[in-house]
A = this chain, B = another copy of it.
């Protein structure tokens, strides 16, 4: 991982080279005193002309931005500016840990398995048992968990309650995160009604749409608000996480509103890639991508 570093004085702000597809975002090339050593980063256009970049790195935020591409992304560069254009400011989220992102991605799966074991009345489990249940090698599980401390004893296994509690703390879900849902169509409604958030760290705290026919209605006792109230509501209700269920063509525009309001993590159901500034995290859920991944294999063999 490239550590965040100060730019050399010959930073080249290549603002002529605009990023065509997203008029609100423009691209900056950062050079490190050598013509072939450079990096690109994306900045919202409204800081154009005054953007002096303070740090550039290839960190976990960038890598987390393409959930469907689990291999390291080499080209994507995250950056932070000294313009405090988003809440949280500067480069606090750059390289927040040295633990591989893929390990972090498995922790929620371990936690889910532990919850189910606890629901089934178990108090103790082992990496062997978890591995069998999850299709992950026990050695991998032990190695993943060892990044965070000593949780089990040789021969006696893991205390489920203790390990769950530690994982909850590590993943930051010992607290409950207020989540905004944008889009009150079929998917948005299903998200708001979804029973699976409760007890797992999330609570839908607001739902938005721009359709006057939907605004004012209730879903799960939550009033659908106009997207015009997005910024103020997100700030009032201290929302840092959003789920995006709007049509593809609206997604990038809404994301920029969310980021301006201070949202830092976005789960995107719109079937389109998004450009976000660091340190905002995006993960994607597009069922068609997952289905097409499987039909590749089905198409290889006779029906």
- Interface residues of A, Cβ cutoff 8 Å to B: 19, 21, 27, 40, 60-62, 64-71, 73-76, 88, 92-93, 96-97, 102, 104-109, 111-113, 116, 120, 131-140, 170-173, 177, 179, 186-187, 189-191, 193-194, 196-197, 200-202, 238, 240-241, 243, 248, 264-265, 267, 271-273, 275, 279, 281, 283, 285-303
Choice from B19, B173, B267, B294 contacting A290 with Cβ under 8 Å: B267
Chain B residues whose CB sits within 8 angstroms of the CB of A240 once the complex forms: 298, 303
* Contact present for B265 and A197 (CB under 8 Å): no
Q: How far is the CB of A173 from chain B (nearest CB, A)?
A: 6
Q: How far is the CB of A241 from chain B (nearest CB, A)?
A: 6
- Assuming the contacts A186-B193, A194-B287, A273-B133, asked whether A172 and B298 have C-beta atoms less than 8 A apart, the reply is yes
Q: Which residue of B lies closest to A179 (CB)?
A: B291
* Contact present for B288 and A202 (CB under 8 Å): yes
Chain B residues whose CB sits within 8 angstroms of the CB of A70 once the complex forms: 70-71, 102, 105
Give Cα A107–Cα B299 distance, bound, in whole angstroms.
14
| 24 intermolecular pairs with C-beta atoms under 8 Å apart | A21-B133, A27-B132, A64-B293, A67-B293, A68-B106, A69-B136, A73-B135, A74-B140, A93-B297, A96-B301, A107-B296, A108-B288, A170-B299, A177-B291, A186-B193, A190-B190, A196-B286, A197-B288, A201-B295, A241-B295, A243-B287, A265-B298, A267-B294, A283-B294
* Contact present for B187 and A93 (CB under 8 Å): no
* Contact present for B112 and A272 (CB under 8 Å): yes
Chain B residues whose CB sits within 8 angstroms of the CB of A64 once the complex forms: 293-294, 297
* Contact present for B295 and A265 (CB under 8 Å): yes
* Contact present for B134 and A299 (CB under 8 Å): no
In the complex, the 6 A-B pairs of residues with the closest C-beta atoms, listed nearest first: A172-B299, A70-B70, A75-B137, A190-B190, A108-B292, A265-B294
Q: How far is the CB of A284 from chain B (nearest CB, A)?
A: 8
Chain B residues whose CB sits within 8 angstroms of the CB of A273 once the complex forms: 109, 112-113, 133-135
* Contact present for B291 and A241 (CB under 8 Å): yes
Most B Cβ at <10 Å: residue of A64, A74, A293, A294: A294
* Contact present for B173 and A61 (CB under 8 Å): no
Q: Which residue of B lies closest to A167 (CB)?
A: B292
Give Cα A154–Cα B68 distance, bound, in whole angstroms.
28
Q: Which residue of B lies closest to A285 (CB)?
A: B285
